[in-house]
Structure 1
């Protein structure tokens, strides 16, 4: 078992980011963005362009796409509405758990670990994709970007999760893929474990992590 596995197995609570940490949601988000752009009369994102700001709120993602496409700011409300309508009905077609996630969650549940999700995704969308991937019952709390008074990296969402699962920072680990997750964890003095196969890019390596791992399958090895 690697260092990440040892750290995760010695805490009584695990808190996960969602997009890029538990589930690969980028294809669905890209498709919803392109549909919204089309519905509002704009060109789709270039195929080679990564979805920007995957660590942030939907508004931040759409704003970054608008800037890259030179779309007037006045189009924001219509784009957000079009995105929400598409994502509600078609948002989880291609969403997939990262390899090993289900086995890892089962293992943690069997040892009595409390688990939760802290994401910048809108909470209702987070609940839908967790249910679609059949892992929602594992989590005692799901806090979204619209749940707390501020989204990550502000500590408020993580503090709300801790309150809902009746844990203190020293009892928990935050598992995430971006610098936003790392910064959020550091602000509440919580261990951060980095999922390197997510959407974090290079910036996340500028922030401290208690451990890093590439695959959940590595965490299952004894």
Structure 2
């Protein structure tokens, strides 16, 4: 396995599909609201492909298919988003868990005093609730949600904001994610990129996103970064 130069000092993590397998609860919440609108329930694997750009895009795809975007001419859509968020908040971590190796890896990075942040397109209040529920808050002094700033990934602003708060630089930061959204955000921000193979990238080859590294289990991250291991 290749290793990164020792200049990497700061790590930014995506949440859904990277740290946490949250698709089962997103799937249930999506089906809850689309059936209220008279649509048929969707299979888990299809909804998994819809995750990554926030609740409004998830629901647009759930209602109208993968290429759909949030409509401007549907008076009921915002009410659907609100109903989704209300239901999802109540069932946020019923079936969602950190991927194998995540907690152990984060504990090692914390012992190494590595500055870490979560940068996600999930609403910030739901991000904090999920991190609290799964006992992950202790690893992340900085959390940037999809509604924290005026822009969200793949815009570079969320990454630059997190890097600044961690007192880092883009050149010494790596983004760890699972999708094209994360890849574009890292490129736009001038960061290195590591992708996880267990995430939500619609089955597309990760190599096509030109990451600096790919890991197939979270416990490979420490070695890839060239950090000392226990």
TM-score (norm 1): 0.90
Alignment check: 8 A CA contact 1:155 1:187 kept: yes
Alignment check: 8 A CA contact 2:143 2:162 kept: yes
Classify the secondary structure of the residue corresponding to 2:50: coil
For the pair 1:89 / 2:74, whether they are aligned, the reply is no
* CA deviation string 1:22-79 (max 9, x = no partner): 0000000000111112334433224553334312121111111111399993331221
Tell me the residue number matched to 1:155: 156
1:115 deviates by: 0.5
Aligned residues: 219
Tell me the residue number matched to 1:66: 63
Tell me the residue number matched to 1:212: 214
Q: Which moved more, 1:66-75 or 1:175-184?
A: 66-75
Alignment check: 8 A CA contact 2:116 2:142 kept: yes
Tell me the residue number matched to 1:49: 46
Gaps of at least 5 residues in structure 1 are none
* CA deviation string 1:100-124 (max 9, x = no partner): 0011001001111011000000111
Classify the secondary structure of the residue corresponding to 1:92: coil
1:26 to 20, 23, 31: 23
* CA deviation string 1:179-212 (max 9, x = no partner): 1101110112110001111111316432221110
RMSD: 2.3
Gaps of at least 5 residues in structure 2 are 224-228
Residues in 2 aligned to 1:86 and 1:202: alpha-carbon distance in whole angstroms:
30
Alignment check: 8 A CA contact 1:179 1:205 kept: no
Alignment check: 8 A CA contact 2:156 2:186 kept: yes
Shift in alpha-carbon separation, 1:49–1:152, aligned structure 2, 3 A: same
Shift in alpha-carbon separation, 1:44–1:99, aligned structure 2, 3 A: same
Classify the secondary structure of the residue corresponding to 1:159: helix
TM-score (norm 2): 0.87
Q: Which moved more, 1:47-56 or 1:28-37?
A: 47-56
Classify the secondary structure of the residue corresponding to 2:46: coil
Residues in 2 aligned to 1:48 and 1:194: alpha-carbon distance in whole angstroms:
20
For the pair 1:36 / 2:36, whether they are aligned, the reply is no
Residues in 2 aligned to 1:104 and 1:81: alpha-carbon distance in whole angstroms:
35
Tell me the residue number matched to 1:11: 8
1:218 deviates by: 2.9
Alignment check: 8 A CA contact 2:142 2:162 kept: yes
Residues in 1 aligned to 2:102 and 2:199: alpha-carbon distance in whole angstroms:
13
Shift in alpha-carbon separation, 1:177–1:8, aligned structure 2, 3 A: farther
Alignment check: 8 A CA contact 1:53 1:64 kept: yes
